[in-house]
Structure 1
Amino acid sequence: MAKMVPPIKITADDVNCLIHAYFEDSGFQHSAFVLRAEGQLSNSPNFTQHVPRGELVELLSKALLYAEVEAHWKGTGMTANCRSPFSLLERHVCSLDPNVAGPSVPDQASHAMEIDQQAPQPHANGAVGMNGTADSVAKRKASTPTTEEAPREKRARTAPPDESMQVDGVAPSTTEPKQDHKQTASSASSEHAESKKSSKTKRQPGPADDVTPSNVVSLLKGHKTEVFVCAWNPTKKNTLASGSRDTVVHLWNVPDSKPPASPVPPKIGPPMTLSYPSQSEQGDLTSLDWTQDGSLLAIGSYDAILRVCSTSGELYFSHTQHEGPIFATRFSKSGRWLLTASLDGTVCVWDIHEKKLHKQFQCHKDCCLDVDWLTDDIFASCGADGKIQIMSLAHARPPKTFIGHTTEVNQIKCSPSRSRIASCSDDRTARIWNIEDIVYNRPPNNDVVVLRGHSHTVSSIAWSPVITEGDHEILASSSFDGTSRLWDSVTGECLRVFQDHKRHVYALAFSPDARFFATGGADGWLHVYDVKARQKRWSWYAGSEKPGIFEIDWQQSGNINRMALALESNEVGVVDVTRVPLLQ
């Protein structure tokens, strides 16, 4: 007697654990906490099991493959030449490609049998995250495929119909070959199969052009988990700090290339390792910030512990004042003060010389996501409550509060002129606020410039270091809609939209001379754009396995011109820009 195969069993607890892992990967920390509490997942035997990153969407992708087979098993003219996309929210109905000749449309009864189950619809957009590239909240999304939220009429322009099927992480070309009107149904079916086969071919890592040396990017191996943050030392130019998911910080000695650029990149030795075992389940590093003199490095982490260490690797001091993950660390220009922003809604001001807490501000009702200094004793903070608070070390209450965003504010950045601050939010806008009355004691100007155009979370913003557009400062923004934009910060005009990424854009950075700005995303691509010409100049691909680029730090000094990349592949990338012909 044949042995009975036990039936497939899926419990609510299984599904809850998968959704919880998806929430954490997507940066939905509040949602993950609520689900963990209400579902009592801490008591579940499944909770301690490792759920691979992106597992939920990978299972949905496999279900899509099954659904396609189920819908197209008959092999009729209708199914063989079907060009109707799949969608999670709509039933699949086969439809013929009007350019392909074949049998006539079957009758209503036959047609009804070719309706598919729900399946993912590809798109460059993704789940709304809680923070931007500099914060770990948004960085745990690297291999999480994206979901659809854009209007249906825009889908074909943003992503090809098979993008959700690219389980190797490679986005296919958005341009499809033209079909011959005389092509038979048989040849069309064969060509469709070949197209699917070729679309799964993995692209090799390296530059997108044929003139850049393949070794222009040095990959530094040392971390055992994803690298979330990286930062060049501002004075010791060859020192690069990188931080990973397991609270490990590496200090690398990266020699600069001797001019003229050598065809062989300089050899980089093993790093100095600063390991701080975390008592928390999550020890993801969220922020690295050097003092202006390069003597101290502040480290923010999910374990809520502030750590400050020296360039020699010694721990200068640490503290457990915060009751939640630390999302941002910022030294004041003088190096006397250090700001830390936390999930507990507070901002702590630390006296670096005294190695102690100076004052703790309850800035937000919920999570505080980012901070930036306006002067050496005035700072701004933003949070999940949608507010931007201007705080003074001399007062307990904020001298000014900016209200306008309708949901979480992910980042704030003070302009080089120190006259305005920019903010970006999950409400799909960036905004420019005037602070001249606070910084320069001028008459108040409450006019707000609202930058509209992104169709999803605006995750990152960056000011151009140099004024290049007349007398107006330029701002760059990047979004989970897969685009980045350049803006005139005075008029609010969008100067250019760049649509090269196929998934979330995580990283955004200007070159210090303001000639270029670079973006990195979940699709594994680094794109570099010419600010004046407003054109893409150069691209590099990180690979299809764990492709995410989480942070970019661009360094220029004398003959040095290079970028550091924090990579999901557990590596740190160093791009020698002097050896990239297209960027000279």
Structure 2
Amino acid sequence: MALSSDELNFLIFRYLQESGFSHSAFTFGCESAVSSLAISGPDVPPGALVSFLQKGLQYLELESNLNEAGTDVDGDFRLLTPHDLLYKDVPELKRVVLARRAEARANDAAAASEKRASEKAAAMAAASGPAAGGDNDAGRNGDDNDAAAGGSGEPMAVDASQLTELRGHQQEVFICAWNPNQSLLASGSGDATARIWDLDKVSPSEDGTEQGVVLRHLAPSRAGNVQPSAASNSGGEKAKDVTTLDWNPTGTLLATGSYDGVARIWSASGSLVGTLAKHQGPIFSLKWNKRGDALLSGSVDRTAIVWDAASCTVKQSFEFHSAPTLDVDWRDDTMFATCSTDKTIHVCRLGLNRPLRTFTGHKDEVNAIKWDPSGRLLASCSDDKTAKVWDTDAGELLHDMREHKKEIYTLKWAPVAPLLATASFDATVKLWDVETGRCVRTLNQHRDAVYSVAFSPDGKLIASGSSPEGMLNIWEAQSGKLIKQYKGGGGIFDVSWDREGRRVAACFGEPKNVVAVVDMDVRM
């Protein structure tokens, strides 16, 4: 597809007219004979030439950020300036992108090193004596000051008898989830595998690696739902990160979502049951409904899809967001919520072609959403540093929580009490009384961004994990006291409690790439 010279001449003529260059337009129109061209002037939108040029620059920008295979965008569009796009060809632009990306990584590494050094110096100063003055975020809540700071006494370190390291993943482990009825733990990794570990049977292999059952994720043919066997990794299929996973309510099936845009359903023994390949971009979230007959997935392609779990077919596709869908959560078997980088939250129901509710109070990307145990309240958190609680029946904002100093990555409800936990890049976990909207406690013993938080099944304990610090903290929910700590290798991306609250799992990144399982000894 290309513009003809006559069409280009007409666009130039129109540009001169629209810009007020009437004499130049008259002269150019006479020389190019635009009046004799078979072009319908009223059908050409205003500013068409500028629009075409801008789209051309965007295409150059996109082409310059493609990976070597030309199949995926692999760059930061802010690395190129308009001057670059005007004066450099694509090969030179690719070199510019690579060089500036390397420079950005080096600057980030230097900044992180400086931050760690500063934090270490502050920690040493604090250890040598009480600090005078300063902004003590933990002291905002009056009588909760001691609890916010972790309580009195030192937390117990995890000893070797309480720790099991599940080794076998070759890259970062992003997510983990316990089976609701068995001692099975599922994990998903950047090595394009998920694994199912039986904690009652797992034992080290001869080389010291605990393998588990390996679920290989290889990109299927979009022509059909054909999944290569676990051994067929020689046919050129491109493996993709496993980004999300969830057990069905009975624990008989595991659903996984991948960066290749495909959801898969596996048996508890690791056999592939079905492949769900309708998304056109990475899947960031998927959840089973309460009955276990439907699966909900949210993707970068801006859609959410509800799947029939038995037939692995699409029940309904929801295309309400204008940007990537980051999280999804069921309220019941037919109603659910979705959130997006477009700053909105939609509450939807199967069978309806428009949202029941749309909430637009956030000022930046909405990272996570969670229904409370009653199904009446919906909590959300955002890069705008706020968490919000919505009354979905009334369709109104109930609480606007604004005490975090940086982006809030995730949040979790307590199983019973009206308590909400939020985890933030400001290195804190905050606990909120949802009846009043007040922050009742700040858990601030982490040194880096907190990516994960989870209540134990009885709601008495809270686990949180940070990155790149790699610290797993266990807290008493009522007092805020820090009772146990474990520092592993690499940052923690996810934490999960088993069904009895006896064990907590944490997913680690580089360099160890392990899942650490801590046995919660009641002698604490």
Within 2, Cα distance between the matches of 1:481 and 1:58? 17
Residues 253-288 of structure 1 show CA distances to partners (whole Å, capped at 9, x for unaligned) of 10189xxxxxxxxx9953111112248877222111
Of residues 187, 190, 200 in structure 2, which corresponds to 1:245?
190
Q: Does 1:524 align with 2:475?
A: no
User: What does 1:536-547 align with in structure 2 at a 5 Å threshold?
Assistant: 536-543=482-489, 547=490
Deviation at 1:447, TM superposition (A): 4.0
Deviation at 1:402, TM superposition (A): 1.1
Q: Which residue of 2 aligns with 1:115?
A: none
Of residues 175, 181, 185 in structure 1, which corresponds to 2:126?
175
Within 2, Cα distance between the matches of 1:231 and 1:521? 18
8 Å contact from structure 2 (residues 217, 239) kept in 1 = no
Residues 462-509 of structure 1 show CA distances to partners (whole Å, capped at 9, x for unaligned) of 000021xxxxx0000010011110001121111011221111111111
8 Å contact from structure 2 (residues 180, 499) kept in 1 = no
Deviation at 1:536, TM superposition (A): 1.4
TM-score, scaled relative to structure 1: 0.63
Q: Does 1:32 align with 2:76?
A: yes
Q: Which residue of 2 aligns with 1:424?
A: 381
Q: Which residue of 2 aligns with 1:377?
A: 334
Of residues 464, 483, 494 in structure 2, which corresponds to 1:551?
494
Within 2, Cα distance between the matches of 1:456 and 1:491? 22
Letter matched to residue 56 of structure 1:
A
Of residues 171, 176, 182 in structure 2, which corresponds to 1:230?
176
8 Å contact from structure 1 (residues 253, 268) kept in 2 = no
Structure 2 spans left out of the alignment, 5+ residues: 1-60, 67-72, 131-153, 203-207, 221-236
8 Å contact from structure 1 (residues 366, 384) kept in 2 = yes
Within 1, Cα distance between the matches of 2:317 and 2:80? 29
User: What does 1:107-186 align with in structure 2 at a 5 Å threshold?
Assistant: 120=111, 145=112, 162-163=118-119, 173=124, 175=126, 177=128
Residues 64-83 of structure 1 show CA distances to partners (whole Å, capped at 9, x for unaligned) of xxxxxxxxxxxxxxxxxxxx
Q: Does 1:408 align with 2:365?
A: yes
Within 2, Cα distance between the matches of 1:37 and 1:272? 48
Please provide the CA RMSD for this pair: 3.4
Q: Does 1:355 align with 2:296?
A: no
Change (3 A) 1:530 1:210: closer
Change (3 A) 1:302 1:538: same
8 Å contact from structure 2 (residues 158, 484) kept in 1 = no
8 Å contact from structure 2 (residues 426, 449) kept in 1 = yes
Q: Does 1:276 align with 2:232?
A: no
User: What does 1:96-107 align with in structure 2 at a 5 Å threshold?
Assistant: none
Q: Which residue of 1 aligns with 2:508?
A: 567
8 Å contact from structure 1 (residues 253, 269) kept in 2 = no
Which protein is bigger by CA-based radius of gyration? 2
8 Å contact from structure 1 (residues 171, 502) kept in 2 = no
Change (3 A) 1:513 1:173: farther
Letter matched to residue 213 of structure 2:
M
Residues 213-272 of structure 1 show CA distances to partners (whole Å, capped at 9, x for unaligned) of 33422111111111111111111x221111110211111110189xxxxxxxxx995311
Change (3 A) 1:58 1:171: farther
Structure 1 spans left out of the alignment, 5+ residues: 1-15, 22-28, 62-119, 121-144, 148-158, 180-207, 258-266, 438-443, 468-472
Q: Which residue of 2 aligns with 1:294?
A: 251
Change (3 A) 1:53 1:34: closer
Change (3 A) 1:319 1:487: same
Within 1, Cα distance between the matches of 2:117 and 2:211? 44
Within 1, Cα distance between the matches of 2:258 and 2:125? 39
Q: Which has the higher helix share?
A: 2
8 Å contact from structure 1 (residues 510, 517) kept in 2 = yes
8 Å contact from structure 2 (residues 368, 410) kept in 1 = yes
Q: Which residue of 2 aligns with 1:463?
A: 413
Within 2, Cα distance between the matches of 1:407 and 1:518? 27
8 Å contact from structure 1 (residues 238, 256) kept in 2 = no
Structure 1 SS opposite 2:76: helix
Structure 2 SS opposite 1:518: strand
Letter matched to residue 263 of structure 2:
L
TM-score, scaled relative to structure 2: 0.70
Structure 2 SS opposite 1:556: coil
Could you tell me the percent identity over the aligned residues? 34
Within 1, Cα distance between the matches of 2:409 and 2:92? 31
User: What does 1:195-206 align with in structure 2 at a 5 Å threshold?
Assistant: none
Change (3 A) 1:57 1:540: farther
Within 2, Cα distance between the matches of 1:229 and 1:286? 7
Q: Which residue of 1 aligns with 2:322?
A: 365
Change (3 A) 1:211 1:219: closer
Q: Does 1:577 align with 2:520?
A: yes
Q: Which residue of 2 aligns with 1:221?
A: 167
Deviation at 1:146, TM superposition (A): 8.5
